């Protein structure tokens, strides 16, 4: 069955491994019969800074309240055209692949700026004007899938269970759980290429082949089993019930056993 997949990628050098992997993802999806949408943030000179210029018809010209201005712009159709276009891509997509280098343990600034501007109030948070009702498994993006595909300069050992950087899925938890699962997306385990600055030609070929394999399972692989807010796991929508994962704290407590 044909699906629509949005590939969002961020690297200023078109010769980079990030660009090569984004191209691999696009070609693999097309070969599988899927429709591919693309956002190349550097090529599009994406405006990364979220500021007053994002609000074409401000509610209060004297004081910048991002929540009220974002919600008003989204509700009244007065968002900037670039933001509205990206939201339309998100709504059209059945899945999103984010391809980026891991810079200081997170998104490059331009990709973080894409989230800041596109994930508007009323769209990705404050959905349906219902406060925190629709989050962590529910929301405008519920039913869609997401996968991070990252290139990391450090070796795999640095991101292992006892690695000095911490496990990669813990490092990326603010993105996978906080940015993507929050508005409802089912998030697949991260695809990672380690030691990316030292790969030889054979290593690049192997990385592309591995990513093509992950892309093939984009709609069949099991997502990370994050616990959903609107279940008995979080009876007050804030904290886990005492009987859920007793004695477990931190990130592991919010991931259910498979």
The structure tokens listed for 75 are 């509700």
Pair (111, 151) in one structural domain: yes
Half-sphere exposure of 180 (CA within 13 A, CB side): 28
Total domains in the fold of the chain: 2
The structure tokens listed for 180 are 């993507």
- Whether residue 113 is predicted with pLDDT greater than 80 in this model: the reply is yes
Q: Please report the beta strands in the chain, taking only residues with DSSP state E, as ranges in sequence order.
A: 4-9, 35-40, 95-101, 145-151, 186-187, 191-193
Pair (204, 258) in one structural domain: no
Instruction: For the chain, give the percent of residues with pLDDT over 70.
Output: 100
CA distances to 32, 47, 50, 88, 251 from 118, in Å: 28, 11, 10, 10, 26
* Overall average pLDDT of the 132-148 stretch: 96
Pair (76, 146) in one structural domain: yes
96 backbone dihedrals φ, ψ, rounded to 5° = -130, 135
Q: According to the model, what pLDDT value does residue 1 have? A: 85
The helix/strand/coil state of 250 is coil
Pair (67, 173) in one structural domain: yes
Angle between helices 81-92 and 109-118 (to 10 degrees): 90
Pair (134, 177) in one structural domain: yes
Length of the chain measured in residues? 258
Pair (258, 245) in one structural domain: yes
Instruction: Give residue-wise pLDDT tens across range 153-175.
Output: 999 999 999 999 999 999 999 99
Pair (122, 242) in one structural domain: no
Mean pLDDT of the chain: 96
Instruction: Give residue-wise pLDDT tens across range 21-49.
Output: 999 999 999 999 999 999 999 999 999 99
Q: Which domain holds residue 116?
A: 4-223
CA distances to 51, 75, 145, 154 from 121, in Å: 14, 9, 21, 36
Pair (242, 127) in one structural domain: no
On whether the CB atoms of residues 233 and 241 are closer than 8 A, the answer is yes
On whether the CB atoms of residues 119 and 91 are closer than 8 A, the answer is no
The structure tokens listed for 154 are 């450090």
Pair (175, 253) in one structural domain: no
Tokens 């704290």 appear where? 249
Cα Rg of the chain, angstroms: 19
Confidence of residue 255 (pLDDT cuts 50, 70, 90): very high
The structure tokens listed for 155 are 């070796």
On whether the CB atoms of residues 254 and 177 are closer than 8 A, the answer is yes
Pair (153, 217) in one structural domain: yes
* Domain harbouring 56, CATH code: 3.40.50.360
Pair (241, 144) in one structural domain: no
pTM (2 d.p.): 0.95
């Amino acid at each position: 069955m044909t699906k629509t997949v949005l590939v969002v990628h961020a690297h200023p050098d078109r010769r980079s491994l990030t660009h090569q992997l984004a191209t691999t993802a696009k070609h693999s999806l097309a070969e599988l019969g899927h429709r591919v949408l693309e956002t190349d943030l550097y090529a599009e000179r994406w405006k990364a800074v979220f500021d007053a210029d994002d609000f074409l018809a401000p509610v209060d010209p004297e004081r910048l309240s991002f929540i009220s201005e974002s919600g008003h712009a989204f509700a009244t159709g007065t968002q900037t055209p670039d933001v509205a276009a990206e939201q339309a891509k998100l709504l059209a997509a059945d899945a999103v692949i984010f391809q980026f280098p891991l810079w200081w343990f997170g998104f490059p600034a331009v990709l973080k700026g894409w989230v800041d501007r596109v994930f508007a109030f009323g769209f990705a948070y404050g959905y349906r004007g219902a406060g925190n009702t629709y989050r962590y498994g529910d929301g405008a993006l519920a039913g869609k899938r997401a996968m991070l595909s990252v290139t990391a300069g450090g070796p795999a050992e640095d991101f292992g269970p006892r690695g000095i950087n911490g496990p990669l899925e813990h490092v990326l938890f603010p993105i996978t759980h906080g940015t993507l699962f929050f508005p409802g997306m089912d998030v697949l385990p991260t695809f990672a290429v380690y030691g990316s600055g030292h790969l030889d030609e054979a290593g690049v070929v192997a990385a592309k082949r591995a990513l093509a394999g992950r892309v093939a399972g984009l709609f069949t692989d099991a997502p990370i089993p994050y616990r959903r807010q609107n279940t008995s796991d979080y009876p007050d929508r804030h904290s886990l019930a005492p009987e859920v994962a007793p004695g477990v704290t931190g990130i592991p407590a919010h991931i259910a056993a498979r």
